[in-house]
Amino acid sequence: MTEGVQTSPAFTPRVFSGIQPSGGLTLGNYLGALKRFADSQNKGVESIFCMVDMHAITVWQDPDALRRQTRELTAGFIASGVDPEKSILFNQSQVSAHAELAWIFNCVARMGWMQRMTQWKDKAGKNQQNASLGLFAYPALMAADILVYHATEVPVGEDQKQHLELTRDIAIKFNNDFGVDFFPITEPKIEGAATRVMSLRDGSKKMSKSDPSDMSRINMTDDADTIANKIRKARTDPDALPSEAKGLEDRPEARNLVNIYAALSDMTVDQVLTDVGGKQFSEFKPMLSDLAVEKLSPISMEMARLMEHPDEIDAILRRGAERARAIANPIIERTFEIVGMIR
Ligand code: AMP
Ligand code: TRP
């Protein structure tokens, strides 16, 4: 519906992204999201990152676990290189403008748009009647997260592409309905070798914290032996590695491991294959586990250290929320005025 629509040049560049504190960060979250957040912050663009706790409760969350997971996710951001001074780091429920704009967007978005969302269909499963209303409305809250900051760029993994297209549709419909050019048409940033990290057990499924098999994923808190064991047991095929990317086309498991190597080492897939083409997996897998341990173990150690000081994490979130409100409040106020609400 939004194909060919340009982003709005009148808006200053601003990055926004969010992750659900629904427990456990994987290598997919790191390569598809966290690592790239740190890169975008370091390019000097104003960056806002959010623990989307209100999204997390669209499926049941134990309250104590939610608190712990929100702190752990915050620690994961910081340990991955997101600096809470340079960037704004906060949790969604502390900035009420998200919920307020989400309600307006619930009245802009159409039922049919929501029904087409593959994440809704996957998460609700066969029993849609029993899913929460929040799960259905999830993408309107996500659009609100982004647009309440007039964010222009949203770095995410491939799985969020459809939600970002819906965000553009909501912005376009709002602007048209009210005859304004108020919300920017946001640009999805789905880039790099690891926009879709796949399960280590099945190259057709994405690596996910909700997969029942722990062997299918690398968790950011796994120790060196666990990482090495999971990579050793990762599914592959019997052939040697090719020397060019096109040799990986029909080899999803091999392609996944090479993509992970490329993303971890900041190389392109072709550069990696120039080095490792012709090698057997018995030789490549130990190289990959050494690299994964080298990159992930300082992060998991830093996460553990930060988790010893939950009060400091909470203070960082409160300070981030204050800075976020300073941007979001004027935008939600203006939105209410556009809609015709007396302020
Ligand atoms: P979630 O954990 O579902 O809240 O996802 C948080 C961020 O991590 C989003 O930007 C996702 O697109 C990204 N992400 C999650 N799993 C993967 C994966 N297997 N590969 C690449 N990116 C992912
Ligand atoms: N839906 C995203 C996910 O599951 C999380 C999210 C919520 C998000 N709000 C967002 C991502 C805003 C980017 C921008 O991964």
Angle at 64 between CA 62 and CA 70, to 5 degrees: 95
What pLDDT sits at residue 4?
Answer: 47
Burial of 261 (0-12, 13-18, 19+ CB in 10 A): buried
Residue pLDDT, tens place only, 24-48: 899 999 999 999 999 999 999 999 9
For residue 22, which ligand has an atom nearest its CA?
1
Tell me: pLDDT of 2 over 50: no
Choose the catalytic residue: 161, 173, 189, 209: 209
What pLDDT sits at residue 7?
Answer: 53
Respond yes or no: is residue 206 known to be catalytic.
Answer: yes
Best CA proximity match to 295, nearest among 44, 7, 86, 27: 27
CB of 147 closer than 8 Å to CB of 168 = no
Q: What is the CATH number of domain 14-195+309-339?
A: 3.40.50.620
16 sits in which H/E element: strand 15-19
Q: How many whole angstroms from its chain centre is CA 122?
A: 17
CB of 65 closer than 8 Å to CB of 26 = no
For residue 176, the tally of other CB atoms under 10 A from its CB is 10
Respond yes or no: is residue 209 known to be catalytic.
Answer: yes
Q: Is the CB of 157 under 6 A from ligand 1?
A: yes
Respond yes or no: is residue 295 known to be catalytic.
Answer: no
Tell me: pLDDT of 262 over 80: yes
CA–CA separation, 235 and 204 (whole Å):
12
Q: Beta strand 47-51 with 88-91: parallel, antiparallel or unpaired?
A: parallel
For residue 166, which ligand has an atom nearest its CA?
2
Q: Is the CB of 159 under 6 A from ligand 1?
A: yes
214-305 placed in CATH 1.10.240.10: yes
How much is the average pLDDT of 293-305? 96
Map out the domains of the chain as residue ranges. Answer: 14-195+309-339, 214-305
Pocket test for ligand 1, best of 19, 29, 36, 117 (most atoms within 8 A of CB): 29
How much is the average pLDDT of 231-237? 96
Q: Is the CB of 17 under 6 A from ligand 2?
A: yes
Q: Give the pTM.
A: 0.94
**Mean pLDDT taken over the chain:** 95
For residue 92, which ligand has an atom nearest its CA?
2
What pLDDT sits at residue 8?
Answer: 55
* d(CA 30, ligand 2 centre) in Å: 14
